[in-house]
């Protein structure tokens, strides 16, 4: 594909008015890691959603970004001042198979520098073909872009590190997918960065025995962007590996603590910043079952809810392999260092998982029988097909005695053990506060998400906006949302499948 020159900067979006402070430090990395390419203009851009709180936190003016000129920028028809659009090259293990990839329908505009001096990537998604598009059209359908906006905001409200959407812009054009013609859209995504395990896989793949300069430059850049405290470490590659392992262990625990299933944990979807990235076939479990799978193409359950820690460790092993030349000049020693670090994931995950479950049960200190208490509840939940989040929300009520009376004998026995554990530790008010801070009364119920997306695609954004507003207060136990937002899917919708939207 021919690389195009960037589009002219829009004179109607001056930096002073909108607050743009864009740089693109990624463009300074070796050319093998990216391609300079401009977004492809669309026919009739229209701004559908602007994330005003996020815009303000980035130092941007929501008022200046609400007009028709902003739609031109968010659609890629014009560039905001300071934009240096490029597509990132990366690879990935997709369902276990190595594949060269890259931004096939995305353009990194640069990094917005906030009033606090922080840097956040701004990326257009669905903004046209790039040298990495293969046979793709470079476009995105409206439904998946709205899903990414909604779920990203829900995850942020839940306190889970996540990329977020700044805007969704309709294009006035159709995109063709398996289900037929769909309205097109462009998402403006905000991320700590778009560095992935797959970015290092690509750098390692193009490195040679005599030239690993791209890999070394990427190591330097990643440390500078996300782990500056490690830049002076004795073994910087090992320090980065261990830091990424720690963040991923904590992230996967946070996912599972609210029943989140990513759905496509390929290595190109594992961000080195520790943020959740790419909301394709994602969903939230209703009844607790570790084998739950939502993705229509995950036929063997590779990315099932309960498999996510194992997959994360597998992905981190692939990351460790890319760092091998930088870990130690002797291959045997490099393998030992990488193996020990990756094997440490299990202990890190267990540590975070136990701490998370203790918070969800209001356990303020550690006791020898905590693990058995936790496993007893999860075993009952699986056998009885109890709703995961609603069960923990019910355990966060001021008085849980009625819950035990309404449940079966197995739960009553567990409830008695739990109550005894709480009495033994005391500090009951503090325990309740901890439980309420750890257990949401609201998650994005899959059937409600689908209904809101269907209405929005049909032209009615009101249900989407209502759901988005409700999801902004997931821990408000004093003023819980209406039952329709908290109830599991009806029986007719229990079999739920998600699709990647590409």
pLDDT in tens, 144-183: 999 999 999 999 999 999 999 999 999 999 999 888 999 9
Answer whether residue 481 is part of any domain: yes
What is the pLDDT at residue 14? 47
Answer whether residue 159 is part of any domain: yes
What is the domain count for the chain?
3
Q: How many CB atoms lie within 10 A of CB 158?
A: 20
> Based on the domain organization, do 132 and 280 belong to the same domain?
no
Domain that holds residue 474: 361-502
What is the pLDDT at residue 403? 83
What is the pLDDT at residue 69? 87
Q: How many CB atoms lie within 10 A of CB 381?
A: 19
What is the pLDDT at residue 178? 85
User: DSSP character for 176?
Assistant: E
> Based on the domain organization, do 20 and 91 belong to the same domain?
yes
What secondary structure does DSSP assign to 117-167, as a single string? S-EEEEEEESB---TT-TT--SBEEHHHHHHHHHHHHHHHHTT--B-EEEE
Residue 235 and residue 340 in contact, taking contact as beta carbons nearer than 8 Å: no
Domain final residue, candidates 305, 323, 353: 353
Q: Which residues of 185-221 are buried (b: 16+ CB within 10 A; e: fewer)?
A: bbbbbbbbbbbbbbbbbbbbbbbeeeebebbbbbbeb
> Based on the domain organization, do 293 and 340 belong to the same domain?
yes
Strand partners of residue 409: none
Alpha helical stretches, state H, 227-323: 236-257, 308-322
What residues act catalytically?
268
Radius of gyration of the chain (CA): 23
> Based on the domain organization, do 386 and 250 belong to the same domain?
no
> Based on the domain organization, do 322 and 457 belong to the same domain?
no
| Number of helical H runs and strand E runs in the chain | 19, 13
Answer whether residue 40 is part of any domain: yes
Answer whether residue 292 is part of any domain: yes
CA distances 283 to 155, 320, 471, 486, Å, are: 12, 29, 15, 15
What is the pLDDT at residue 8? 42
> Based on the domain organization, do 392 and 304 belong to the same domain?
no
> Based on the domain organization, do 310 and 419 belong to the same domain?
no
> Based on the domain organization, do 336 and 388 belong to the same domain?
no
What is the pLDDT at residue 12? 41
Answer whether residue 211 is part of any domain: no
Answer whether residue 420 is part of any domain: yes
3-class DSSP assignment, residue 346: helix
Answer whether residue 208 is part of any domain: no
State how far the Cα of 120 lies from the Cα of 272, in Å rounded to an integer. Answer: 14
> Based on the domain organization, do 48 and 112 belong to the same domain?
yes
What is the pLDDT at residue 125? 98
What is the pLDDT at residue 116? 95
Domain final residue, candidates 304, 321, 353: 353
Sign of torsion, CA 147 152 154 160?
Answer: positive
Strand 86-88 with 22-23, pairing? unpaired
Give every CB contact of residue 382 below 8 A, 6+ residues apart in sequence: 288, 289, 290
Residue ranges of the chain with pLDDT lower than 50?
1-14
What is the pLDDT at residue 502? 52
> Based on the domain organization, do 337 and 377 belong to the same domain?
no
Alpha helical stretches, state H, 25-115: 52-57, 68-75
> Based on the domain organization, do 40 and 181 belong to the same domain?
yes
> Based on the domain organization, do 135 and 70 belong to the same domain?
yes
Answer whether residue 199 is part of any domain: no
What is the pLDDT at residue 296? 78
Domain final residue, candidates 332, 353, 374: 353
């Amino acid at each position: 594909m021919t690389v195009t020159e960037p589009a002219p900067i829009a004179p109607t979006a001056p930096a002073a008015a909108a607050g743009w402070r864009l740089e693109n430090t990624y463009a300074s990395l070796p050319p093998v890691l990216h391609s300079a390419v401009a977004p492809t203009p669309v026919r009739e851009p229209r701004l559908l959603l602007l994330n005003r709180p996020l815009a303000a936190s980035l130092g941007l003016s929501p008022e200046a970004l609400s007009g028709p000129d902003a739609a031109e920028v968010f659609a890629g028809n014009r560039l905001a001042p300071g934009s240096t659009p490029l597509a990132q090259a990366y690879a990935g293990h997709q369902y276990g198979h190595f594949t060269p990839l890259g931004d096939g329908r995305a353009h990194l505009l640069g990094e917005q520098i906030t009033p606090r001096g922080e840097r956040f990537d701004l990326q257009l998604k669905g903004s046209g073909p790039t040298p990495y598009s293969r046979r793709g059209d470079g476009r995105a359908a409206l439904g998946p872009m709205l899903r990414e906006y909604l779920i990203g905001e829900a995850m942020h409200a839940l306190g889970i590190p996540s990329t977020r959407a700044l805007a969704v812009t309709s294009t006035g054009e159709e995109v063709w997918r398996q289900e037929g013609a769909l309205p097109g859209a462009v998402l403006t995504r905000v991320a700590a960065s778009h560095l992935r395990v797959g970015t290092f896989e690509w750098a390692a793949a193009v490195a040679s025995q005599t030239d690993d300069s791209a890999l070394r430059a990427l190591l330097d850049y990643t440390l500078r962007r996300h782990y500056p405290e490690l830049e002076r470490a004795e073994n910087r590659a090992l320090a980065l590996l261990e830091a990424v392992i720690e963040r991923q262990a904590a992230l996967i625990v946070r996912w599972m603590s609210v029943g989140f299933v990513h759905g496509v944990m390929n290595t190109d979807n594992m961000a080195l910043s520790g943020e959740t990235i790419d909301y394709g076939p994602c969903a939230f479990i209703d009844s607790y079952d570790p084998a739950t799978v939502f993705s229509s193409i995950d036929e063997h359950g590779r990315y099932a809810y309960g498999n996510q820690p194992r997959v994360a460790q597998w992905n981190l092993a692939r990351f460790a392999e890319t760092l091998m030349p930088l870990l130690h000049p002797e291959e045997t020693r490099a393998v030992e260092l990488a193996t020990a670090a990756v094997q440490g994931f299990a202990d890190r995950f267990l540590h975070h998982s136990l701490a998370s479950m203790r918070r969800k049960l209001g356990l303020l200190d550690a006791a020898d029988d905590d693990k058995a208490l936790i496993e007893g509840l999860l075993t009952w939940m699986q056998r009885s097909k109890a709703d995961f989040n609603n069960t923990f929300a019910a355990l966060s009520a001021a008085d849980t005695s009625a819950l035990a009376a309404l449940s079966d004998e197995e739960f009553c026995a567990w409830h008695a053990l739990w109550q005894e554990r709480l009495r033994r530790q005391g500090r009951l008010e503090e325990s309740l506060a901890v439980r309420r801070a750890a257990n949401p009364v609201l998650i994005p119920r899959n059937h409600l998400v689908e209904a809101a997306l269907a209405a929005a695609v049909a032209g009615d954004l009101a249900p989407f906006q209502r759901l988005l507003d409700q999801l902004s207060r997931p821990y408000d136990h004093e003023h819980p949302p209406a039952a329709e937002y908290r109830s599991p899917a009806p029986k007719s919708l229990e079999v739920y499948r998600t699709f990647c939207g590409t």
